[in-house]
Amino acid sequence: MSFAFGVALFALGILISVSLHEAGHMLTAKAFGMKVTRYFVGFGPTIFSFKRGETEYGLKGIPLGGFCKIVGMTPQDDDVEPGDEKRAMWRYPVWKRTIVMSAGSITHFGLAIFAAWLAAMTFGLPNPDFPRNEEQIRAEPAVIAIQDCVLPDTTYRECAAGDAPSPAGAGGLQNGDRITSINGTPINNYGELLTTLRATTPGSTATIGYVRDGQSGSTETTLATTKRPPIDNPEGPVTEVSALGVGLVLSTPGLVTYGPVAAVGATSTFIGDMAVATAQALQRLPEKIPALWHAITGGERDIDTPISVVGASVLGGEAVANNAWEIFIMLFISLNFFIGVFNLLPLLPLDGGHIAIAWFERARSWVYARLRRPDPGRVDYFKLMPFTYVVILIGGVFTLLTITADVVNPITLFPR
């Protein structure tokens, strides 16, 4: 039940975000005097609508977004009634059109920033000092968390009957103990714990030195046998190695909370890092298409592949089901920020495409004026339709791929 509630809640959050996106267009357009004739949440058949002034507001049956109709978005639009010619959007100064067309993305950015600021004061934001790669993780002190069992290979699953119990637990070690030696070999960090275990005979008895609450101690336990790839080559061949049945407890907290004022600076840093990560993700999108196809055709799903709204909602449901609300909020923040950036790409039919054309027209008119040549006028959108259709086709195929992958081979944060 909590999973279904989480999925519905996240989907509702996306719908509200998109509706506010369209409201951003509408409100800025109205503020400048442009004529807005329709504002609807959803698509398809109309459930209900009402009219206030010159604008019809309503709800449609398919809750997959929303739209608002601004009269005369392009010179080729034929929706301008007699007497409204001066209110056609394309006739307004380029800076006003830019504000109107970017208002949707600005709304998404505002939602992401506000949610991040709230998260900074409640759940916390990612710690910038948190270990982010294998080298940093291995340099951490070998503070352990006792596992329930030792799995026989690299396949992740819950413990089952017949799995070897954790040697660390059997030897009396406890969560939070820091391993200091194995068979007399000093252990200074988690990386040395791994390499020393690999050098120890599987199934042998080992003497484990540790520190607990500032007091040194030692215990003996029989190491389990498992199969793992080489430490420095996760894709290499698996061999039998020793296992202690422990995980690492990181000394640096993953999330840090802040007061209202300090949260402003932390939010700025977090959003800046997200902007860099989003730009890098957009650059890598083309190379992710083969990985999506691989996942659809039965291969393992790479956690770094793109997800659709369907996949994001499922992850939101998993987060709620596991009481991981911080993950739910981070998903909401990331998705809103990504949509905001993506929508500003200079491609039709995205808002960024309209903005790019508006400034191209302005720049071209300036150049022609300096050359004392007649103003070439507005861009003919009809001539750009073939390129627009190509963008729509590519976007549609990519969306279909991500949705299919999310259905047949979804990414999961909490393996069952």
Longest Cα–Cα distance of the chain, Å, equals 91
> Could you give the residue range(s) of every CATH 2.30.42.10 domain in the chain?
134-248
> 102-152 pLDDT, tens per residue?
999 999 999 999 999 999 999 888 887 776 777 778 888 889 889 888 888
Residue 64 has pLDDT above 80, yes or no: no
Residue 192 has pLDDT above 60, yes or no: yes
Q: 22, 192, 318, 361: which is the annotated catalytic residue?
A: 22
Decide if 22 is catalytic: yes
Give dist(CA 125, CA 121) in Å, integer: 8
Nearest to 179 by CA among 205, 200, 214, 209: 209
Q: Residues of 85-116 as b/e, b for ≥16 C-beta within 10 angstroms?
A: eebbbbebebebbbbbbbbbbebbbebbbebb
β-pairing, 224-228 vs 215-222, is unpaired
> 285-298 pLDDT, tens per residue?
888 888 888 888 88
> Rounded to 5 degrees, what angle do the CA atoms 94, 96, 99 make?
110
| DSSP helix/strand/coil, 312 | helix
In the CATH scheme, what architecture does the domain 134-248 have?
A: Roll (2.30)
Q: Tokens 């069952």 — which residue?
A: 416
Q: What is the pTM of this model?
A: 0.80
Please state the separation of Cα 92 from the chain's center in Å: 36
Q: Quick one: tokens of 345?
A: 């790409």
Average pLDDT over residues 323-327: 87
Q: Quick one: tokens of 318?
A: 């998993």
Q: Which residues pair with 206 in a beta bridge?
A: 221
Residue 390 has pLDDT above 70, yes or no: yes
